[in-house]
Amino acid sequence: MSTQALIYLFVGVSFAIYIGIAIWSRAGSTKEFYVAGGGVHPIVNGMATAADWMSAASFISMAGLIAFMGYDGSVYLMGWTGGYVMLALLLAPYLRKFGQFTVPDFIGTRYYSKVARTVAVICLIFISFTYIAGQMRGVGIVFSRFLDVSVEVGVIIGMAIVFVYAVLGGMKGITYTQVAQYCVLIFAYMVPAIFISMLITGNPVPQLGLGSMVNDGSGMYVLQKLDSSLQAMGFGPYTDGSKSMIDVFCITAALMIGTAGLPHVIVRFFTVPKASDARKSAGWALIFIALLYTTAPAVAAFARLNFNDSVNQTAYEEAPGWFKNWEKNNLIAWVDKNGDGKMEVAKGDAFKGSPEYTAGTGASGQRLVKNEVLSDNANEVYVDKDIMVLANPEIANLPGWVIALVAAGGLAAALSTAAGLLLVISTAVSHDLLKSTFKPDISEKAELLSARVAATAAIVVAGILGIYPPGWVAQVVAFAFGLAAASLFPAIFMGIFSKKMNKEGAIAGMVTGLVFTFSYIFYFKLLADPAVNVADNWLFGISPEGIGVVGMVLNFIVAIVVAKLTAPPPAEIDALVESIRVPRGASEAHAH
Amino acid sequence: MSEQDPKGAGAGAYWKENIRLLITLMAIWFLVSFGAGILFRPFLDQFMIGGFPLGFWFAQQGSVYVFIVLIFYYAARMKSIERKYDLDD
């Protein structure tokens, strides 16, 4: 069977499974729609959380980013795992004991204020839409790359699939679909990783392979060889980054705290039966996530090593097959600056921007580009970082079914995250805005219907954002994490750990964190000229990616000062905080 | 419903014990990631474990493993503390 036929088969079968699961586990009540009935086993929930969490970016782009960032890529590895420690220890069990459906539920009740709830809803919707626009685009790109359809058609197919299982199944449907999606995506990630680790080091465990010797008889360790080959080509060493320490520190912290404040992650811990299950479930989620996150740096190093070895100083005619394949797919380009017919890899960009191909081919048969060639450096090769994962099966000479598996895995990763995000958006609209703010007497049936309508509307908006991505989408993933860290996290944290925090303090803190972080990112990422977005102009040398930490600190300071100056919270809030602090009684708390 | 009044003395002592445990574990969390992986990395990188400079290993592998252990240790310790104060769920 041809590779293309295998891809259709794998993707088709996996989609049939997702939809089958959704029909089998469709939601019949709002409780099932919002929190899957509150009876999900902690290991199952952990697996679903992992799929929810790991997006197309984690699956496809992260290893490629690390391959080119070296040590600096650690910000993603630590940042996107360390947040689960904060979740398990500081937030999840208490929110589960609190026992309602959403993050704004908690903030609105704990701070006895509709204003606080509305501020939380605004943060949540903004964070989730920023995040989902990127996901839908990811779905479209994966479809177009593997199924030979345009990105737009890809987005529409993705919307249709998500529509079926998110609108029909609600949280209950997506939980069980995500379990299946996790299995597909982790298998698809590990198989090529294991083979490529064997190929380069002879050790089948990628995590150990990264610390092993290269089996080319040189007697050098993988990282040693990578450092020396990169330095010979004019790059800095792989194991040493180029970002300043304070920036690495702040980005890592913003990603960790942002993770702990992301609504679509938090809400997953409302679905387990007990408060103690929320802790265990976060641990399981991290195990499932860590499997991919500790493999990614190994894949990154192997891919970079292999890329240097097989491309640098190689004549184009002798370039490996995957190089030409991905050139056909617009992800690789080569400009022969010195006219020697050999591809040179060095520090710097080969040309300005991403490649715009002309119809013609050059002397060696390469595709020509019309971009302005940059002559201030010797680099001749443009590589889209995504190929580091996508080309792995070909680099390791794996059969067609592995390539098909990677296609199914990338789609599973993108769809599971999109569905989780859509659900929190629809819940925020139907539960937090409609039921809790505007129309408290709405019937259960009408609320469930409105949740489905809201989910449908959210899918359409997300799809439009995916088809016509506003220029800012790629720029502002920093928004989602920075805003979650600066607005929602402190409000939830203080709501649990301080009995004195009152509504005035919490609202002032959230607004301060939100406005400060938003303005800083907006200014540097969207308003100012890219040349202004450099360390010299940043506050304390902290990039927009890491500024959420400063926003969080401001949130805490403002909240505490304002709370000292205004009336303490009423006595029933004292009792509420007392009750969420002890686990007993969590299984009854859902009945409300 | 709980037999015991959650506002009782037991709940107070339970909460204090929880906070103490949290401070210890969050300190370890900070030390392995921000400490070993970032602040002390330049120093730790002079030591090697296998083919890894130690600081680099903490940043890209070790911290994640410690995170997992921390969560499961916390879950197990809390379970026994909750049993001690008869507040488990």
Domain ranges of chain B: 9-84
Which residues in chain A are contacts of B72 at CB distance < 8 A? 280, 283
Specify the pLDDT at position B6: 47
Statement: residue A44 has pLDDT above 70: yes
Chain A contact for B54 (CB, 8 A cutoff): no
Specify the pLDDT at position B3: 42
Mean pLDDT across A1-24: 87
Nearest neighbour of B88 by CB, restricted to A245, A276, A279: A276
Model confidence, pTM: 0.90
Triad B59, B61, B67: Cα angle to 5°: 90
Mean pLDDT across A62-90: 92
Which residues in chain A are contacts of B57 at CB distance < 8 A? 211
Lowest mean pLDDT across A89-103, A286-300, A362-376, A388-402: A388-402
Specify the pLDDT at position B2: 42
Specify the pLDDT at position A592: 44
Which residues in chain B are contacts of A211 at CB distance < 8 A? 49-52, 57
> What is the average pLDDT value for chain A, to the nearest integer?
87
Cα-Cα-Cα-Cα torsion A363, A368, A374, A375, nearest 10 degrees, comes to 10
- Give the percent of chain B with pLDDT over 90: 72
pLDDT class for B1, splitting at 50, 70, 90? Answer: very low
Give the SS3 label for residue A126: helix
For residue A163, count CB atoms less than 10 angstroms from its CB and return exposed for 0-12, middle for 13-18, buried for 19 or more.
middle
Triad A238, A386, A83: Cα angle to 5°: 70
Which residues in chain A are contacts of B61 at CB distance < 8 A? 207, 210, 294, 297
Statement: residue A476 has pLDDT above 70: no
For residue A375, count CB atoms less than 10 angstroms from its CB and return exposed for 0-12, middle for 13-18, buried for 19 or more.
exposed
Question: What is the rounded distance in angstroms from the CA atom of residue B57 to the CA atom of residue A185?
Answer: 25
Chain A contact for B14 (CB, 8 A cutoff): yes
Nearest neighbour of A283 by CB, restricted to B57, B64, B75: B75
* Tokens 């930490």, residue located: A549
- With CB atoms and an 8 Å threshold, state whether B89 touches A276: yes
Lowest mean pLDDT across A30-39, A267-276, A312-321: A30-39
Which residues in chain A are contacts of B25 at CB distance < 8 A? 85, 89
Which residues in chain A are contacts of B71 at CB distance < 8 A? 84-85, 88-89, 279, 282-283, 286
- With CB atoms and an 8 Å threshold, state whether A89 touches B57: no
Specify the pLDDT at position A72: 92
Mean pLDDT across A325-344: 85
Chains A & B: contacts with CB separation below 8 Å: 153
Higher pLDDT, B44 or A538: B44
Nearest neighbour of B60 by CB, restricted to A77, A212, A276: A77
- Give the percent of chain B with pLDDT over 70: 90
- With CB atoms and an 8 Å threshold, state whether B71 touches A74: no
Residues 293-312 of A with CB under 8 A from B: 293-294, 297
Chain A contact for B27 (CB, 8 A cutoff): no
Nearest neighbour of B79 by CB, restricted to A66, A213, A276: A276
A interface test, pick of B34, B47, B71, B80 with most A CB neighbours within 10 Å: B71
Mean pLDDT across A544-567: 94
- Which residues belong to CATH 1.20.1730.10 in chain A? 3-306+398-589
Which residues in chain A are contacts of B7 at CB distance < 8 A? 575, 578
Specify the pLDDT at position A298: 94
What does chain A come to in residues? 592
- With CB atoms and an 8 Å threshold, state whether B7 touches A578: yes
CB within 8 Å of A281: residues ≥ 6 apart: A42, A43, A45, A46, A49, A92, A268, A269, A272
pLDDT class for A591, splitting at 50, 70, 90? Answer: very low
Mean pLDDT across A309-313: 86
B interface test, pick of A85, A256, A257, A579 with most B CB neighbours within 10 Å: A85
Specify the pLDDT at position B53: 92
Mean pLDDT across A278-292: 95
Nearest CA in chain B to A581: B15
For A148-180, what is each residue's pLDDT tens digit? 777 788 888 888 888 887 888 888 888 899 999
Specify the pLDDT at position A588: 54
Question: What is the rounded distance in angstroms from the CA atom of residue A534 to the CA atom of residue A536?
Answer: 6
CB within 8 Å of A160: residues ≥ 6 apart: none
Q: How far is B51 from chain A (nearest CA, A)?
A: 4
Higher pLDDT, A142 or B82: B82
Nearest neighbour of A287 by CB, restricted to B41, B68, B82: B68
Mean pLDDT across A181-197: 92
Chain B contact for A583 (CB, 8 A cutoff): yes
Taking CA atoms, A483 is separated from A89, A119, A452, A511, in Å, by 21, 12, 27, 10
Q: How far is B48 from chain A (nearest CA, A)?
A: 10
Mean pLDDT across A230-243: 87
Specify the pLDDT at position A477: 67
- With CB atoms and an 8 Å threshold, state whether B34 touches A252: yes
CB neighbour burial string for B18-41, b if at least 16 within 10 angstroms, e if fewer: beebbeebbebbebbbbbbbbbeb
The neighbouring-strand residues paired with A406 are none
For A110-122, what is each residue's pLDDT tens digit? 999 989 999 999 8
Nearest neighbour of A249 by CB, restricted to B34, B87, B88: B34
Strands annotated E in A157-306: none
Statement: residue B5 has pLDDT above 70: no
Specify the pLDDT at position A543: 87
Chain A contact for B81 (CB, 8 A cutoff): no
In this structure, are residues A80 and A292 in contact, taking their beta carbons and an 8 Å threshold?
no
Residues 33-72 of A with CB under 8 A from B: 66, 71
Chain A contact for B79 (CB, 8 A cutoff): yes
Specify the pLDDT at position A431: 85
Specify the pLDDT at position A363: 83
Yes or no: domain A3-306+398-589 corresponds to CATH 1.20.1730.10: yes
Q: How far is A251 from chain B (nearest CA, A)?
A: 11
Question: What is the rounded distance in angstroms from the CA atom of residue B89 to the CA atom of residue B81?
Answer: 12
- Give the percent of chain A with pLDDT over 90: 33
Q: How far is B9 from chain A (nearest CA, A)?
A: 12
